[in-house]
């Protein structure tokens, strides 16, 4: 796949743009002037997102197991899932990748005939989104689970005493 | 107009308005007595009275609990080592408390701790980019430069209020004007003050979070001080005034024999008026952080609560669940469970 | 269980009594006193005194010789008071640093009313104002400035003449 | 074609930028998962708190009393007169912003009102409006605003998004302590009937029965007896706890989390093993069965009402001094408030360790010793026979609990203990700016470790989890140690979400693992029934293989 090597080449630009877009597409409520780019990540959340997007992209370009792809998705999704927003909003960022790739590689698309490969990439991104839903649901479930676990933990001593294991109820 | 603009421009126009008032007001010779004598006396009066009043208001409330922020190992077992830093950050004796306060007041210790969380691009690092909480000293530097420049400037100005000028102030002036790259010699403190104030201003405006929390009460003093600094610099280097007359006026004020010599330039009155406004504004504003830091209970208390009793003047008895009530309620169950009780039935 | 208990809250509260007095008064007022003393200390020696401003003396042989109408400096007095230091430094720069060619009028300074002066502290200014201690120093000391003119320029009347 | 939103239009705020509207105009968004439920009237009645009503936040039923403004303002005036801290902290803030990115809630949620400076402004703006001339005249321009229902809702929302951890106070150039203002703000909320259920339930239970968990005396004894049996099963050593025993030398007080909830229970087992080993003459109390103090999370007075039991019981039982377990805010209360509340404690003696003879001079007024101080002293004097290899499966980092760190200053003792019970190299510190006095909070303390605000807690704890994750990934750390029962209750949940590979443990649990009793059975597992590395069957197998 020619596109794969191209994407790998352009990875830093694409991922940077992706991160930026994820931040910049917010309502222009706060016009930030004189703000340095790096400042946008000066919080653990920004860091995790940046790190997650990088992983997702790497996973997408290289042939990776679904497991790994899911793990990469989870990096970002576990943060989005906490913000109590519907999955559509939580996962919209994945689709942005399509545009970014097209814009970033516009010249190459003109020069070489990559239509077929592009289509394949698109469908891979679609697949990614579908996996994203899995990851999102998993995270929401995880939230419920830890809620329940915590309740159990609060009396876990009692449960242990009555011979019940935390996981058996 | 949004929140930021409202607060910023009101402050800006307020300062500009003050400048205008002083400029045109001092043109009329009849008002020079007002601007040169009445306003300064009034300002100092308000400053002193306000300051004392505010401190008295604070003093009226007790400090009920000993709540120092312990930023270092506390004094416990004798063999647990505490270096001097820890002894100061968690003072166990009055001596160390004095040290802590001195560091706080003179060196801005807490601000020196400032951190910034940041993503460091670090290709050499095998983990790639790292999120680090790194030590961020710019705010500290800006603040300390600002405050010390201000102090030096105030002390330097004492040459106008003393006759003969005591040696220390003369010396200070020589040091301040050490780099003679202009005539009259440029005072470093003036430059530092204006640069630092600009920095503090700029970070307030450009940092979105800071802009969000800033009020007119934050912009106004900064702009006022900038105005004072700039008018002072202009007066010294560009629009010169008769300095002998200025001293005559200042000395007159200081000795309570006020005189208003004729022919002092308007810029002097602008400068003086802004200073007076700052003095009068001081007790009613956040500038009270200067005396306030001495009264901050989380900094000015010895951390010795476990071995020296702290008394709360309004301590009052509270209702709590008494053991007797408790036992009455659970006696049977307790007896059954072999838990000792006071009364067997 | 505790129907009659009055706690700190709300309408049924019996507020804890806070005695009206100054707390930590000793420390606070000591601090305040120290501040006020520091404030007054530098001003104290002169409190209530009247300190006359320095009187510049124009009583020098050269000025005395001049006719009343010629007794005026190269610039108006007010201007001179505020700006003489700048003028002297400009002269110095022209003469010593840029050389005579650098100055528009060569070594000469033309006053607004058309009189020409040699641009020289020793030879022009101090010609009339030969009483440095009564003219220059008085004010300089008054406002505590120490101009570095005298590092190079000779001040004693005698040596002044010899240097000429 | 149907109108479908473009993906970019769907992206919600994540950029940590404050909104364009001024903060006075932005109302809190009570999304599920971000707030705590209001207290049920039952609990409030138990402890005679005002205005017990059924309230529901999503339905907008706040049930404020008619004269609520009057009550709040009078309450504020009263507190200004009682607490100089409040007056000074209200007056001297310069809004320099040094505290802003120090708050874990701000770092985790990006909500600008979680910057401590702005959280304080929420209160300050009302103070200016009603107690300062400038605010009365200039209104908004002076940063003042009316006390409206929206404001009181905002207080409720944000004052219960502060864990009273004091991290901001360390960095503030004037030592302004958001914790102090949060506490007093919560008192004001309580005065008009606004409390959160989780804290209130714990307080009422504790007040009524003796512990937050609401255990009756028999249930408490039952539970501790069971843990003693567990100890016997694992170590072969009989630990014999006594209850409400008069004449014991020491009263031991621990947070209730340590005897009801894992992993605190293992720490409890550790305490008992330790005391058995050194033969300490101690007793538990079913009445003062709670060291922790949720009351203090609501008001100073409630804190005092709950704290009363400890000295009261010590006096009744005639013990010489008190030993306190591993708990964060319990120790903040004990250190900062307890002696002041109860005056000279002349019915107890200056604590002296009966084993080493060490005089705890730093507690000579308080008469209460921290278990870490006590244990460190034992180890230092060589009184404990420890085998660190029994903790070889534990690679640990230490979380300084905010309350013991910034409200007491206990850093070295637990580290000393850890270094003596773990094999060398198994203790790894997190990055320096996230520990000790700069430690990040667990994100769930101060009574907000409820269930309904789980999303918020996960966000608030994220900076802590991030640092744990760092040492986990880099050094393979698999345990997070702490000396706080709330940490032991909330960090497992936090880590389960962010770093599921890491478990949470108390320090005395490790001591219990490592103690070598002369009469013990062969130890093959730790107190959690996990196989030890290099002991028992595993070791035998290894030996066989080697042959």
pLDDT digits (tens, 9 = 90+) for A122-134: 888 888 888 888 8
* Separation in Å, CA of A45 to nearest CA in chain D: 7
pLDDT in tens, C75-86: 888 888 888 888
Which alpha helices (H) appear in chain B, and where do they start and end? 3-25, 29-33, 39-59, 84-89, 94-107, 109-112, 138-157, 167-176, 188-206, 208-213, 216-237, 243-254, 266-281, 289-295, 323-336
When pLDDT is cut at 50, 70 and 90, the band that residue D2 belongs to is low
Please tell me the predicted confidence (pLDDT) of residue D84: 94
pLDDT on residue D426 = 93
pLDDT at A42 over 60: no
Please check whether residue C95 is in contact with residue C107, taking contact to mean a CB–CB distance below 8 angstroms.
Answer: yes
- State the Cα–Cα distance between residues D284 and D242, nearest whole angstrom: 6
pLDDT of residue D359: 94
Interchain proximity B57–D87, CB inside 8 Å: yes
Q: Work out the percent of chain D whose per-residue pLDDT is above 70.
A: 94
Question: Distances in Å between the alpha carbon of D150 and those of A124, B93, B230, B337?
Answer: 48, 46, 43, 52
Cβ within 8 Å of residue D247, ≥6 positions away: D317, D318
Which residue out of A39, A45, A47 would a mutagenesis test of the B interface target, given it has the greatest number of B Cβ atoms within 10 Å? A47
Q: Around Cβ D31, how many Cβ atoms within 10 Å?
A: 13
**Residue among D11, D21, D227 minimizing CB distance to A26:** D11
User: C147 versus D429: which is more confidently predicted?
Assistant: D429
Considering only the beta carbons, identify the residue of D46, D84, D190 that sits closest to C9. Answer: D190
Give DSSP secondary structure letters for D377-446: HHHHTT---B-GGGGTT--EEEE--HHHHHTT---HHHHHHHHHHS-TT-B-PPPGGGSGGGPPP-S--T
Quote the minimal CA–CA distance from A48 to chain B in Å.
9
**Contact in structure between D141 and D24 (CB atoms under 8 Å):** no
A34 touches chain B (CB under 8 A): yes
Rounded mean pLDDT, D411-432: 93
Q: Which of residues 139-158 of B touch D (CB under 8 A)?
A: 139, 143
Residue A37, pLDDT above cutoff 70 = no
Q: Give the whole-angstrom CA distance, residue A59 versus residue A66.
A: 9
User: Nearest to residue D328, comparing CAs of D99, D506, D190?
Assistant: D506
Please answer whether residues A78 and A90 qualify as being in contact, where contact means their C-beta atoms are separated by less than 8 angstroms.
Answer: no
Residue C131 lies in a domain: yes
Residue A47 in contact with partner chain B when CB distance is under 8 A? yes
Query: What contacts D226, CB < 8 A, 6 or more positions away?
Result: A157, A160, A161
User: Which positions 187-206 of D are in contact with C (Cβ < 8 Å)?
Assistant: 187, 190-192
pLDDT number for residue D16: 54
The per-residue pLDDT for C78 is 80
The closest CB to that of D262, out of A22, A48, A156, belongs to: A156
Residue D191 to residue C10, Cβ atoms within 8 A: yes
Q: Does the CA dihedral D104-D107-D110-D113 come out positive or negative?
A: positive
CA atoms within 13 A on the CB side of D158: 28
Task: Annotate C7-63 with DSSP letters as a single string.
Answer: -SSSTT--PPP--SS-TTHHHHHHHHHHHHHHHHTTTGGGTT---PPPPPP---HHH
Position C21 pLDDT exceeds 80 = yes
DSSP-derived secondary structure letter, D40 = P
Q: Where are the domains of chain A?
A: 2-168
* pLDDT-wise least confident of A22-36, B52-66, D513-527: A22-36
Q: Which fold has domain A2-168?
A: Globin-like (1.10.490)
Quick check: do A and D touch, 3+ CB pairs under 8 A? yes
- For chain B, which domains are there? 3-314 (1.20.950.20), 316-345 (no CATH)
pLDDT above 60 (res D114): yes
Q: Are strands B115-120 and B130-135 parallel, antiparallel or unpaired?
A: antiparallel
Q: If you ran DSSP here, which 8-state letter would residue C125 be given?
A: I
Query: Min CA distance, D230 vs chain B (Å)?
Result: 19
Query: Which of A87-96, D284-293, D425-434 shows the lowest mean pLDDT across its residues?
Result: A87-96
Q: Please tell me the distance in Å from D531's CA to the nearest CA on chain B.
A: 33
Q: Is C14 domain-assigned?
A: no
Q: Which of B173-177, B244-248, D369-373 has the highest mean pLDDT?
A: D369-373
Is A169 buried (19+), middle (13-18) or exposed (0-12) by CB count in 10 A? Answer: exposed
Q: Hey, what are B185's tokens?
A: 């010699």
- Is D55's pLDDT higher than 50? yes
Is B118's Cβ below 8 Å from some Cβ in C? Answer: no
Chain C residue nearest residue B56, CA to CA: C22
Chain C residues close to B241, C-beta within 8 Å: 82
Band of the pLDDT at D403, cuts 50, 70, 90? very high
Residue C70 belongs to a domain: yes
Question: Residue B15: its pLDDT value, please?
Answer: 95
B7 has a chain D CB within 8 A of its CB: yes
Closest C-alpha among B273, B241, B265, B32 to residue C143 = B241
Measure the N-to-C terminal CA separation of chain A; round to a whole number of Å: 50
Q: How far apart are CA B289 and CA B292, in angstroms?
A: 4
Contact assessment for residue D203 and residue D211, using Cβ atoms and an 8 Å cutoff: no
Contacts of A41 in chain B (CB under 8 A): 118-119, 131
Chain A: residue whose CA lies nearest to D494: A146
Q: Are strands D479-482 and D396-399 parallel, antiparallel or unpaired?
A: parallel
Contact A42 B121 (CB under 8 A): no
CA distance A35 to chain B (A): 7
Confidence bin at A33 (pLDDT 50/70/90): very low
- Total beta-carbon pairs less than 8 A apart between chain A and chain D: 134
- Of A34 and C64, the one with more pLDDT: C64
Q: Please count the CA atoms within 13 angstroms of the CA of D271 that sit on its side-chain side.
A: 28
Nearest residue, CB atoms, C82 vs list B60, B169, B240: B240
Q: Which residues of B282-318 are buried (b: 16+ CB within 10 A; e: fewer)?
A: bbbbbbbbebbbbbbbbbbbbbbbbbebbebeeeeeb
Domains with residue ranges and CATH for chain D: 23-195 (1.10.1060), 202-514 (no CATH)
**Residue among A53, B308, B7 nearest D142 (CA):** B7
* Residue-wise pLDDT tens digits, D128-164: 999 998 889 988 889 999 999 999 999 999 999 999 9
Show the 3-state SS of chain A: CHHHHHHHHHHHHHHHHHHHHHHHCCCCCCCCCCCCHHHHHCCHHHHHHHHHHHHHHHHHHCCCCHHHHHHHHHHHHHHHHHHCCCHHHHHHHHHHHHHHHHHHCHHHHHHCCCHHHHHHHHHHHHHHHHHHHHHHHHHHHHHHHHHHHHHHHHCHHHHHHCCCCHHHC
Whether the CB of D504 is below 8 Å from some CB of chain A: the reply is: no
CA dihedral D387, D390, D394, D397 (to 10 degrees): -20
Nearest CB among B55, B166, B244 relative to C139 is that of B244
C and A touching (3 or more beta-carbon pairs closer than 8 Å): no
Supply the pLDDT for residue A144.
87
What domain range includes position C125?
A: 61-163
CB contact under 8 A, A96 and D10: no
Query: Does residue C45 belong to any structural domain of this protein?
Result: no
Query: What is the average pLDDT across C41-49?
Result: 85
Q: Where would I find the beta strands (DSSP E) of D214-358?
A: 250-253, 282-283, 321-324
What domain count does chain C have?
1
B129-157 pLDDT per residue, tens:
555 666 678 889 999 999 999 999 999 99
Mutation target for D interface from C9, C13, C14, C18: give the one with most D CBs within 10 A. Answer: C9
Q: Given an 8 Å threshold on Cβ–Cβ distance, is B59 in contact with C28?
A: yes
Rounded Cα gap, residues C163 and D360, in angstroms: 85
> Residue A36: what pLDDT?
37
Beta-carbon contacts of residue D493 (< 8 Å; ≥ 6 apart): A146, A149, A150, A153, D444, D454, D457
User: Does D78 contact chain B (CB < 8 Å)?
Assistant: no
**Res D428 pLDDT > 90:** yes
Tokens describing residue D257: 């989390």
What is the rounded CA–CA span in Å between residue A88 and residue A86? Answer: 5
User: DSSP string of D102-134?
Assistant: G-HHHHHH--GGGSHHHHHHHHHHHHHHHH-HH
| D229-249 average pLDDT score | 91
CB pairs under 8 A between B and C: 110
More confident residue, D254 or A29: D254
pLDDT (0 to 100) of residue C9: 63
Look at D85 and B330 and tell me if their CB atoms are within 8 Å. no
Cα separations (Å) of B76 from B86, B90, D342?
13, 12, 22
Over chain A, what is the mean pLDDT?
75
- Using the beta-carbon criterion (under 8 Å), do D15 and A142 form an inter-chain contact? no
Distance from C-alpha of D300 to C-alpha of D395, rounded to nearest angstrom: 39
**What's the burial of A16, exposed, middle or buried (CB within 10 Å: 0-12/13-18/19+)?**
middle
Does the pLDDT at position B21 exceed 90? yes
**Which positions 7-26 of D are in contact with A (Cβ < 8 Å)?**
7-21
- Looking at beta carbons, which residues of chain D come within 8 Å of A85? 12
Per the document, the length of chain C is 164
Whether the CB-CB separation of B106 and B294 falls below 8 Å is answered with no
Q: Tell whether D408 lies on the interface with B, counting CB pairs under 8 A.
A: yes
- Residue B139: name the closest of B111, B118, B104 by CA: B111
Tokens of D261: 């909830």
Q: Residue B24's closest CA among B35, B14, B13, B15?
A: B35
Confidence of residue A56 (pLDDT cuts 50, 70, 90): confident
Mutation to test the B interface, candidates D87, D89, D92, D416, most B Cβ within 10 Å: D92
- Classify residue C88: in a domain, yes or no: yes
Average pLDDT over residues D265-282: 94
Tell me, what DSSP letter sits at residue C96?
I
- B257 has a chain C CB within 8 A of its CB: yes
Structure tokens at C4: 């009659």
Q: Is the pLDDT of residue D214 over 90?
A: no
Question: pLDDT by residue (tens digit) across C97-117?
Answer: 666 555 555 677 778 888 888
Q: What count of Cα atoms within 13 Å lies in the side-chain half-sphere of residue D409?
A: 29
Mean pLDDT of D32-39: 89
Residue C161: predicted pLDDT: 43
Residue D463, pLDDT score: 87
pLDDT exceeds 60 at position A93: yes
Residue in this structure with the two tokens 């660190």, named with its chain if needed? D388
Between residues C100 and C62, the one the model is more confident about: C62
Beta-bridged to residue C109, according to DSSP, are: C117
- CA C105 centroid distance within chain: 31
Antiparallel, parallel or unpaired: β D250-253 and D321-324: parallel
Chain A CB within 8 Å of residue D530 CB = no
- Considering only A46-50, D126-130, D314-318, D523-527, which range has the smallest mean pLDDT? A46-50
In the structure, do chain B and chain D come into contact, i.e. share 3 or more CB pairs under 8 Å? yes
Partner residue facing A84 (CB), from D13, D33, D227: D33
Q: ipTM value of the model?
A: 0.84
- Residue among B257, B40, C5 nearest D207 (CA): C5
Which element (helix H / strand E) includes D221? helix D217-235
A50 and B CB contact within 8 Å: yes
Average pLDDT, chain B: 88
Would the CB atoms of D406 and B305 count as touching at under 8 Å? no
CA-derived radius of gyration, chain A = 20
Whether the predicted pLDDT of C156 surpasses 60? no
Pairs of CB atoms within 8 A across B/D: 316
* The pLDDT value given to residue C164: 39
């Amino acid at each position: 796949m020619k596109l794969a090597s191209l994407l790998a080449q352009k990875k830093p630009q694409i991922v940077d743009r992706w991160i930026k877009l994820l931040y910049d597409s917010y309502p222009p409520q706060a016009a930030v002037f004189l703000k340095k780019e790096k400042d946008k990540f000066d919080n653990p959340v920004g860091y995790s997102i940046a790190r997650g997007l990088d992983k997702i992209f790497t996973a997408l370009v290289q042939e990776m197991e679904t497991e790994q792809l899911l793990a990469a998705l989870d990096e970002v999704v576990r943060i989005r899932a906490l913000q109590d927003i519907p999955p559509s909003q939580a996962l919209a960022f994945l689709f942005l990748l399509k545009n970014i790739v097209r814009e970033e590689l516009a010249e190459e698309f003109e020069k070489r005939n990559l239509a077929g490969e592009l289509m394949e990439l698109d469908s891979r991104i679609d697949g990614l989104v579908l996996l994203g839903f899995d990851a999102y649901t998993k995270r929401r479930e995880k939230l419920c689970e830890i809620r329940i676990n915590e309740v159990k933990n609060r009396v876990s001593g009692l449960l242990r005493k009555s011979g019940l294991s935390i996981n058996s109820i | 107009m949004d929140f930021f603009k409202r607060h910023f421009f009101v402050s800006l126009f307020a300062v500009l308005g003050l400048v205008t008032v002083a400029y045109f007001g001092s043109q009329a010779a009849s008002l020079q007595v007002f601007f040169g004598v009445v306003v300064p006396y009034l300002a100092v009066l308000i400053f002193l009275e306000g300051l004392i009043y505010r401190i008295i208001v604070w003093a009226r409330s007790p400090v009920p609990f000993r709540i120092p922020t312990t930023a270092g190992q506390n004094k416990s077992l004798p063999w647990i080592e505490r270096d001097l830093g820890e002894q100061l950050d968690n003072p166990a004796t009055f001596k160390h408390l004095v040290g802590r306060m001195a560091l706080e007041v003179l060196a801005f210790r807490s601000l020196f701790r400032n951190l910034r969380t940041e993503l460091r691009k670090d290709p050499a690092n095998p983990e790639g980019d790292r999120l680090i909480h790194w030590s961020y000293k710019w705010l500290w530097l800006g603040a300390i430069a600002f405050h010390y420049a201000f102090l030096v400037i105030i002390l330097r100005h004492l040459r106008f209020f003393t006759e003969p000028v005591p040696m220390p102030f003369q010396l200070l002036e020589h040091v301040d004007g050490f780099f003679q790259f202009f005539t009259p010699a440029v005072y470093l403190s003036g430059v530092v003050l204006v640069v630092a104030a600009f920095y503090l201003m700029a970070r307030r405006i450009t940092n979105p979070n800071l802009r969000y929390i800033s009020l007119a009460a934050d912009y106004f003093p900064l702009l006022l001080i900038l105005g004072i600094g700039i008018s002072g610099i202009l007066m010294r280097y560009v629009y010169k005034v008769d300095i002998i007359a200025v001293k005559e006026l200042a000395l007159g004020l200081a000795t309570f024999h006020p005189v208003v010599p004729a022919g002092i330039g308007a810029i002097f009155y602008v400068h003086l008026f802004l200073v007076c406004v700052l003095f009068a504004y001081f007790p009613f504003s956040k500038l009270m952080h200067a005396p306030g830091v001495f009264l901050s209970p989380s900094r000015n208390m010895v951390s010795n609560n476990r071995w020296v009793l702290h008394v709360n003047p309004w301590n009052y008895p509270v209702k709590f669940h008494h053991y007797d009530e408790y036992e009455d309620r659970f006696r049977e169950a307790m007896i059954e469970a072999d838990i000792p009780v006071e009364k067997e039935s | 269980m505790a129907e009659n208990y009055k706690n700190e809250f709300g309408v049924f509260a019996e507020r804890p009594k806070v005695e009206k007095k100054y707390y930590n008064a000793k420390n606070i007022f000591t601090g305040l006193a120290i501040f006020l003393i520091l404030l007054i200390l530098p001003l104290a020696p002169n409190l209530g005194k009247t300190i006359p401003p320095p009187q510049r003396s124009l009583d020098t042989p050269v000025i005395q010789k001049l006719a009343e109408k010629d007794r005026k400096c190269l610039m108006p007095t007010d201007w001179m008071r505020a700006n003489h230091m700048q003028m002297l430094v400009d002269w110095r720069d022209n003469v010593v640093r840029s050389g005579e060619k650098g100055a528009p009028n060569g070594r000469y300074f033309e006053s607004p009313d058309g009189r020409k002066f040699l641009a020289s502290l020793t030879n022009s200014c101090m010609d009339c104002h030969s009483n440095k201690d009564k003219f220059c120093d008085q004010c300089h000391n008054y406002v505590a400035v120490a101009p570095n003119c005298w590092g190079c320029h000779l001040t004693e009347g005698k040596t002044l003449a010899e240097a000429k | 074609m149907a109108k479908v939103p473009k993906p970019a239009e769907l992206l919600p705020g994540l950029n940590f930028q404050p909104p364009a509207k001024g903060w006075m105009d932005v109302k809190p968004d009570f999304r599920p998962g971000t707030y705590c439920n209001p207290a049920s009237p039952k609990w409030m009645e138990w402890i005679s708190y005002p205005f017990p009503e059924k309230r529901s936040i999503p339905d907008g039923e706040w049930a404020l009393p008619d004269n609520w403004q009057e009550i709040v303002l009078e309450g504020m005036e009263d507190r200004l007169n009682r607490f100089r801290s409040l007056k000074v902290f209200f007056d001297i803030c310069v809004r320099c912003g040094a505290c802003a990115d120090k708050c874990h809630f701000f770092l985790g949620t990006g909500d600008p009102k979680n910057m401590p400076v702005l959280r304080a402004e929420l209160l300050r703006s009302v103070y200016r409006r009603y107690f300062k001339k400038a605010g009365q005249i200039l209104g908004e321009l002076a940063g003042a605003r009316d006390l409206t229902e929206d404001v009181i809702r905002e207080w409720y929302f944000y004052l219960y998004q502060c864990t009273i951890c004091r991290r901001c106070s360390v960095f503030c150039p004037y030592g302004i302590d958001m914790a102090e203002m949060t506490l007093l703000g919560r008192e004001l909320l309580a005065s008009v009937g606004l409390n959160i259920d989780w804290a209130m339930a714990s307080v009422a239970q504790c007040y009524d029965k003796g512990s937050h968990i609401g255990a009756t005396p028999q249930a408490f004894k039952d539970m501790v007896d069971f843990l003693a049996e567990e100890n016997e099963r694992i170590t072969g050593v009989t630990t014999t706890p006594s209850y409400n025993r008069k004449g014991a030398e020491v009263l031991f007080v621990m947070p209730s989390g340590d005897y009801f909830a894992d992993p605190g229970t293992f720490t409890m087992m550790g305490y008992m093993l330790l005391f058995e080993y050194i033969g300490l003459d101690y007793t538990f109390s079913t009445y003062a069965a709670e060291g922790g103090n949720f009351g203090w999370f609501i008001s100073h007075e409630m804190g005092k009402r709950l704290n009363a039991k400890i000295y009261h019981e010590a006096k009744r039982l005639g013990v010489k001094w008190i030993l306190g377990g591993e708990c964060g805010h319990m120790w903040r209360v004990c250190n900062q408030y307890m002696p002041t509340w109860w005056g000279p404690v002349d019915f107890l003696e200056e604590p002296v360790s009966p084993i080493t003879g060490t005089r705890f001079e730093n507690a000579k007024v308080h008469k209460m010793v921290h278990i870490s101080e006590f244990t460190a002293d034992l180890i230092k004097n060589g009184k404990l026979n420890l085998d660190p290899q029994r903790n070889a499966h534990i690679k640990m980092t230490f979380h300084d609990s905010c309350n013991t760190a910034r409200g007491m200053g206990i850093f070295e003792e637990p580290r000393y203990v850890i270094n003596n019970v773990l094999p060398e190299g198994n203790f790894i510190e997190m990055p320096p700016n996230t520990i000790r006095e700069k430690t990040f909070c667990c994100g769930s303390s101060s009574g907000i470790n409820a269930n309904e605000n789980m999303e918020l807690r996960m966000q608030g704890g994220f900076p802590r989890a991030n640092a744990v994750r760092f040492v986990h990934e880099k050094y393979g750390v698999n345990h997070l140690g702490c000396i706080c029962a709330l940490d032991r209750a909330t960090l497992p949940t936090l880590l389960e979400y962010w770093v599921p590979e890491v478990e949470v443990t108390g320090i005395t649990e490790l001591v219990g693992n490592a103690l070598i009793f002369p009469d013990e059975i062969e130890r093959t597992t730790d107190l959690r029934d996990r196989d030890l590395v290099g002991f028992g069957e595993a070791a035998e197998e290894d030996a066989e293989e080697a042959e």
